[in-house]
Amino acid sequence: MRVEPAPTLPPSAPTFGDPSAARAFLRDGWVVTDLLDAEEVATLARVFDAIVGAPAEPIYSSWSQALSVRAQTDAAIRSVTLPRLCALLPRREMVFAGFMAKAVSPDTAFPIHQDPTIVDEERWTPLTFWVPLVAVEPETGCMQGVPGSHRWRAFPRPAFRAFPYQHEDARLRPLLRPIPMRAGQVLLAHPALFHASTPNLGAGRRVACVGTLVPDDAEVRYYRRRETEPVIDAHPVPSGFYVRVRPEDATDGLPVAGRFPDQPPPLDLDALVALGAGASV
Ligand SMILES: O=C(O)CCC(=O)C(=O)O
C-alpha cells in the first residue's frame, strides 16, 4: 500500500509567527528555535538536581516514575516553559512535561520511534517539545529525525505499542538527520516524526525537558491497543489525565470516541524518502 503525502496539515497547524518556519515544519516535521534564557535553563537544571539527583539508570525518564514525582516534575517544568511556549504558540495547552536524561555511556542511544497519538491528527496538530539544558551535538545525545516522516501517518499510534518498523532499522538509520541544539532552544516536532537520539559520549549528563502541546480546543485522547486483538480504542480523557494517572491502569469506564484497526501499512522506503525531499510541499 502506498501512503500518499498529505498536502497540508490541518487548520490548527502551527505558524510559529514565521512563514519559513511554518514551511519547514510542514516539510520536515520539526523546527528548532530559541526558547529559554540562561537563568531559566539554570532554574530547570536545579529542579532536576532537586527532584532526580543522580539517577542510577543510564536513561532516566520522568514518565516511568511514581505519580507524585511525575506531577511535581510536570508542575516545575510547566511553570518555566509554558509562558515561553505560549508566547511562541498562542492557544496551546501542555498535556504533560517531564525530564529525559542520559548518563555518559555508549548504551544511551534511543532507538527510532514515533510518539503516541493523543488527538485526532486529521483535526488538530499536536507538538512534541524537547528542550536540552546543555548543548547537544551528535556526540552528546542530540535528537535525530527522518525529514518528512511525520506525513507517514495514516494510522493511530497507540501508547506502549512498539514502533511498527523496528525491523527496518538498518534501512531507516541512514535517513536520520542529526539536530544539534544550544541549551535552552526548543525542538518542536510532530509526534508522528520518526525520531531517535544519539548516545551521550560527552563529559557530563545530558538533561532535557520533554512534553506535548495541543491546540487549546483539542479533545485529548488515550489510544489503547487491545491485548487480545489488533484493535485500537480511542478514549477521550479529562484535563490532567497524563499527569495524574497511569493511563495503562485507568481506561476502564472511559468513553470510546472511535475504534481503529492496528494495521500499519508496510514501509515504502522510496515514498518515505520522497516525503523528506519535500516533493509535495
Ligand atoms: O531524550 C531523548 O534522547 C529522546 C526523547 C524522545 O525521543 C522521546 O521522548 O520521545
Distances, alpha carbon 117 to alpha carbons 122, 126, 247, 267, 273, in Å: 11, 9, 13, 19, 23
Distance between Cα 197 and ligand 1 center (Å)? 7
What's the average model confidence in pLDDT over 91-107? 97
pLDDT at residue 3, as a whole number: 44
Lowest mean pLDDT among 35-49, 99-113, 154-168: 154-168
What's the average model confidence in pLDDT over 130-146? 98
pLDDT at residue 5, as a whole number: 47
- Is 60 exceeded by the pLDDT of residue 94? yes
Q: How far is CA 153 from the centre of its chain?
A: 14
- Is 90 exceeded by the pLDDT of residue 143? yes
Distance between Cα 110 and ligand 1 center (Å)? 7
pLDDT at residue 29, as a whole number: 95
Backbone angles phi, psi at 229, to 5 degrees: -150, 155
Give pTM, 2 decimals.
Answer: 0.94
Is the C-beta atom of 195 inside 6 A of ligand 1?
Answer: yes
pLDDT at residue 213, as a whole number: 97
Question: Rounded distance, CA 143 to CA 176, Å?
Answer: 9
What's the average model confidence in pLDDT over 198-220? 97
Going edge to edge, which strands form the sheet with 231-236?
A: 221-225, 231-236, 258-261
Q: Which of 48, 59, 100, 136 to mutate to test the pocket of ligand 1 (most atoms within 8 A of CB)?
A: 100
What rounded mean pLDDT belongs to the chain? 91
- 93 confidence band (pLDDT: 50, 70, 90): very high
Kindly state the percentage of the chain with pLDDT values over 70: 93
Q: Which residues contact 167 (CB under 8 A, 6 or more apart)?
A: none
pLDDT at residue 153, as a whole number: 67
Atom of ligand 1 lying closest to residue 196 CA = 7
* pLDDT tens for each residue of 30-44: 999 999 999 999 999
pLDDT at residue 245, as a whole number: 81
Is the C-beta atom of 110 inside 6 A of ligand 1?
Answer: yes
Q: Which of 63, 115, 129, 130 to mutate to test the pocket of ligand 1 (most atoms within 8 A of CB)?
A: 130
pLDDT at residue 8, as a whole number: 59
The structural domains of the chain, ordered by start, are 19-274 (2.60.120.620)
What's the average model confidence in pLDDT over 266-272? 91
Question: Rounded distance, CA 109 to CA 197, Å?
Answer: 6
- Is 70 exceeded by the pLDDT of residue 276? yes
pLDDT at residue 116, as a whole number: 96
Show the cell assigned to 206: 545530558
- Is 60 exceeded by the pLDDT of residue 99? yes
* pLDDT tens for each residue of 244-266: 887 667 777 889 999 999 999 89
Among residues 152, 126, 149, the alpha carbon closest in space to that of 223 is found at: 126
Helices (H), 31-132: 38-51, 67-88
End-to-end Cα distance, the chain: 22
